[in-house]
Chains A and B, each alone.
Chain A
Amino acid sequence: MSILKTGGPGRFGGYGGQFVPETLVPCLLELEAARLAAEADPSFATELAHLQADYAGRPTPLYRARRLEAAWGPRSRIYLKREDLNHTGSHKLNNCLGQILLARRMGKQRIVAETGAGQHGVATATVCALMGLGCTVYMGATDVVRQAPNVARMRLLGAEILTVTAGSATLKDATSEAIRDWVTNVKDTHYIIGSTVGPHPYPTLVRDFQSVIGREARAQILEKEDSLPDRIIACVGGGSNAMGIFTGFLDDPVALFGVEAAGSDQGHSEALGRGTPGVLHGSYSYLVQDGDGQVIPAHSVAAGLDYPGVGPEHSHLRDSGRAVYLGVDDGEALDSCGECSRLEGIIPALESSHALAYCKKQLAEEGPGAEPLIIVNLSGRGDKDMAGLEAAAADGGATS
């Protein structure tokens, strides 16, 4: 017998829940009420749609990458969902635009967020500037160094960046510190969590705001190919870009592949591939942990995937078999980043490069006769990774 509930609001199969200190529960209930009220209010959707179109630049294109097709699978068709062209350079803004409107409805004056790659931090700082709200972003010391351009962007946007040196000094520790700030300032502060993780209602809330990716991609592929894709490939850290695109195709005969970071000999971030279920940051989901239930620091060359947990809905999709999760290591991701840059003139984020690398790998396994129609979610652009990419190239030409 499990002591955990298996149903009810915020449960995906047995995963999810609200495992947070009591101090935060009333605030989560308030957020859930605000979410449901917004859902029922047509003016909320109208305002969000306006911001998505005129501020973020949506819809993002669905682009056919013919030179990648020629290199990786001559009979394949590979489409890239260009979330890198979203304002601020990644899919993260989709969630932040929705959440900042909710924060305003709840009368919150201040926003706190965590960030790994800095993409969510930049998107949060952006919407705070837009709405005139105070913004504090927690970022691990390791990530402050490896994603320096995004730190500078956040500062320019008026956000306060607080460096976290605890633990592995990456996304996990930044998230813990953001939660501590939120517990302390809960009355006037809204926590814009950046992925489909955390306590209910966040996994649902973030998925819903990201589902615009899948809705657009489905309509676009039907228009261009008059057919659904055979498969969707997306990288998975917390899993928000993947849930955003998967949601559009859950009820279709389309294979869904989530790509986790297999990292290197320094460690990995494969919660779904190599973890076991547990509770971190408020929800029950797969987790990289030891036999005593202590969380093991993750590793990935991509700061945005460098997280030992994963969103609870992915755990459910994994167990049900609806989606399949695999790992791609640092070297494979770096290689694909270089190939996409040189062949398509698109520099993908190292996170998104994991999805590209799996696309390549699968085509190689299937052989040159395979004719799959593929959509890869290109969740963000790689400008932020330039320092790391140059270092990797100098290290032994991983990008060549």
Chain B
Amino acid sequence: MTELTRLTRELRDAGETALVPFLTAGYPDLETSRRLIAETAAAGCRILEIGVPFSDPVADGPAIQLASSKALAAGMTLGKALDLAAEARREHDLRVVLMGYLNPVLAYGPEKFAKACAAAGVAGVIVPDLPLEEAAGLRAVLAAGGVSLVDLVAPTSGDDRLAAYGASATGFLYLVSTTGVTGAGLGADIQSYVERVRRHTEVPLFVGFGISSPAAAAEVGAVADGAVVGSALLRLVDEAGDPDAAVAAVGAFLRETRAALAD
């Protein structure tokens, strides 16, 4: 059992809906990125997604596209994102899931990446452009180091695909809430979607894409084991104007959302 599997089950058994913040590494700059990470821990989050910026993020909407291009312009790389992840793991009570597109991983070298993830204490990796049919190779090299490859499933995934994903899932299964890109809004009928996926797997189910408010998180939390919030946080950072305001806005949003999930 991987570390991520243990933690997500522990949270589920304790009746807690996990709130998973997503932050783009190096956005708006490296120092503020560190402070934002610390703030997620201070707000009580236990799992953090760190986004590795890519030049062509086809699964992402405007907020993450903007954060990615600014982070790249400021010099962020996969190697530096791994350093940031190691620091987050070391200095806070956080388990880190790295989310990044395949090409930077290929350029870094998949085996080297898997070893670096294990060394950094990265608990899981999400690759949005690596569906089931293409994932076996990376899943194997990550598993060798005790790191989960966290799969995404979508409302368009049929039962046969959900069964296959369910069979190979470790850590948690990430349910894309809607047919669409990140930040576009929550999909309809989350309850029946989550129930449909749950028939195929025992792993905890986390829902992401389009959770833009504490109320939307609560709607997800009523049926799922976790809620991932990304674009909403990055929009707060973008609107904040300065690092202090960004950290304060993100902290307030996370605390309010955790409270909504606990109700």
Beyond A278-B107, A279-B102, 18 extra complex contacts between A and B, CB < 8 Å: A3-B110, A3-B140, A3-B141, A5-B137, A18-B131, A21-B131, A21-B154, A22-B156, A22-B157, A23-B179, A25-B132, A25-B133, A26-B157, A167-B69, A183-B58, A183-B59, A279-B106, A294-B54
Q: Is A4 an interface residue when CB atoms closer than 8 A count as contact? A: yes
Known A26-B161, A295-B55: A19·B134 in contact at CB below 8 Å = yes
Q: Which of B55, B61, B184 contacts A167 (CB 8 A)?
A: B55
Known A184-B179, A280-B56, A281-B56: A18·B103 in contact at CB below 8 Å = no
Cβ contacts under 8 Å, B104 to chain A: 292-294
Kindly state the separation between the CA atoms of A2 and B141 in the bound complex, as whole angstroms: 10
Kindly state the separation between the CA atoms of A279 and B128 in the bound complex, as whole angstroms: 12
Q: Is B155 an interface residue when CB atoms closer than 8 A count as contact? A: yes
Residues 163 to 178 of chain B near chain A (Cβ within 8 Å):
176
Cβ contacts under 8 Å, A22 to chain B: 131-132, 151-154, 156-157, 161, 176
Residues 98 to 135 of chain B near chain A (Cβ within 8 Å):
101-108, 110-111, 128-134
Kindly state the separation between the CA atoms of A359 and B257 in the bound complex, as whole angstroms: 65
Residues 169 to 184 of chain A near chain B (Cβ within 8 Å):
172, 176, 179-180, 183-184
Q: Is A279 touching B103 in the complex (CB atoms < 8 A)?
A: yes
Q: Is B179 touching A278 in the complex (CB atoms < 8 A)?
A: no
Q: Is B176 touching A292 in the complex (CB atoms < 8 A)?
A: no
Q: Is A340 an interface residue when CB atoms closer than 8 A count as contact? A: no
Q: Is A27 an interface residue when CB atoms closer than 8 A count as contact? A: yes
Kindly state the separation between the CA atoms of A280 and B107 in the bound complex, as whole angstroms: 12
* Contact pattern, A 160-196, Cβ under 8 Å of B = 1, otherwise 0: 0000001100001000100110011111000000000
Residues 47 to 78 of chain B near chain A (Cβ within 8 Å):
54-59, 61, 65, 69, 72, 77-78
Q: Is A17 an interface residue when CB atoms closer than 8 A count as contact? A: yes
CB distance from B56 to the nearest CB of A (A): 5
Q: Is A19 touching B130 in the complex (CB atoms < 8 A)?
A: yes
Cβ contacts under 8 Å, A183 to chain B: 58-59, 179-181
Residues 158 to 205 of chain B near chain A (Cβ within 8 Å):
158, 161, 176, 179-181, 184
With CB as the reference atom, state the residue of chain B lying closest to A296. B55
Q: Which of B58, B105, B106 contacts A21 (CB 8 A)?
A: B58
Kindly state the separation between the CA atoms of A172 and B72 in the bound complex, as whole angstroms: 17
Kindly state the separation between the CA atoms of A25 and B151 in the bound complex, as whole angstroms: 13
With CB as the reference atom, state the residue of chain B lying closest to A25. B131
Q: Is A293 touching B103 in the complex (CB atoms < 8 A)?
A: yes
CB distance from B127 to the nearest CB of A (A): 9
Q: Is B184 touching A184 in the complex (CB atoms < 8 A)?
A: yes
Q: Is A167 touching B56 in the complex (CB atoms < 8 A)?
A: yes
Q: Is B11 an interface residue when CB atoms closer than 8 A count as contact? A: no
A-B contacts, 10 of them at CB < 8 A, read A18-B134, A21-B131, A22-B131, A186-B179, A187-B156, A278-B103, A278-B107, A293-B103, A293-B108, A294-B103
Q: Is A21 touching B176 in the complex (CB atoms < 8 A)?
A: yes
Q: Is A1 an interface residue when CB atoms closer than 8 A count as contact? A: yes
Cβ contacts under 8 Å, A4 to chain B: 106, 134, 137
Which of B105, B131, B140, B158 has the most chain A CB within a 10 Å cutoff?
B131
Kindly state the separation between the CA atoms of A188 and B78 in the bound complex, as whole angstroms: 37
Using a CB–CB cutoff of 8 Å, the interface residues on chain A facing chain B are 1-5, 17-27, 166-167, 172, 176, 179-180, 183-187, 277-282, 287, 289, 291-295
| Interface pairs A-B: 7 shortest CB-CB | A293-B107, A3-B137, A293-B104, A23-B154, A184-B180, A293-B103, A3-B110
Cβ contacts under 8 Å, A293 to chain B: 54, 78, 103-108
Kindly state the separation between the CA atoms of A3 and B137 in the bound complex, as whole angstroms: 4
Q: Is B56 touching A176 in the complex (CB atoms < 8 A)?
A: yes
Q: Is B249 an interface residue when CB atoms closer than 8 A count as contact? A: no
Q: Is B103 touching A186 in the complex (CB atoms < 8 A)?
A: no
Q: Is B138 an interface residue when CB atoms closer than 8 A count as contact? A: yes
With CB as the reference atom, state the residue of chain A lying closest to B113. A3
Kindly state the separation between the CA atoms of A293 and B136 in the bound complex, as whole angstroms: 21
Q: Is A26 touching B134 in the complex (CB atoms < 8 A)?
A: no
With CB as the reference atom, state the residue of chain B lying closest to A290. B107
Q: Which of A3, A186, A277 contacts B138 (CB 8 A)?
A: A3
Cβ contacts under 8 Å, B79 to chain A: 292
With CB as the reference atom, state the residue of chain A lying closest to B68. A294
With CB as the reference atom, state the residue of chain A lying closest to B142. A3
Cβ contacts under 8 Å, B56 to chain A: 167, 172, 176, 280-281, 295
Cβ contacts under 8 Å, A24 to chain B: 156
Kindly state the separation between the CA atoms of A295 and B59 in the bound complex, as whole angstroms: 16
Known A3-B137, A21-B59, A26-B157: A282·B110 in contact at CB below 8 Å = no
Kindly state the separation between the CA atoms of A187 and B154 in the bound complex, as whole angstroms: 13
Kindly state the separation between the CA atoms of A23 and B111 in the bound complex, as whole angstroms: 27
Known A1-B111, A18-B133, A27-B156: A180·B181 in contact at CB below 8 Å = yes
CB distance from A162 to the nearest CB of B (A): 14
With CB as the reference atom, state the residue of chain A lying closest to B114. A3
Cβ contacts under 8 Å, A172 to chain B: 56
Q: Is A295 touching B152 in the complex (CB atoms < 8 A)?
A: no
With CB as the reference atom, state the residue of chain A lying closest to B80. A292
Q: Is A20 touching B158 in the complex (CB atoms < 8 A)?
A: no
Q: Which of A167, A187, A292 contacts B179 (CB 8 A)?
A: A187
Cβ contacts under 8 Å, B129 to chain A: 19-21, 279, 282
Cβ contacts under 8 Å, B110 to chain A: 2-3
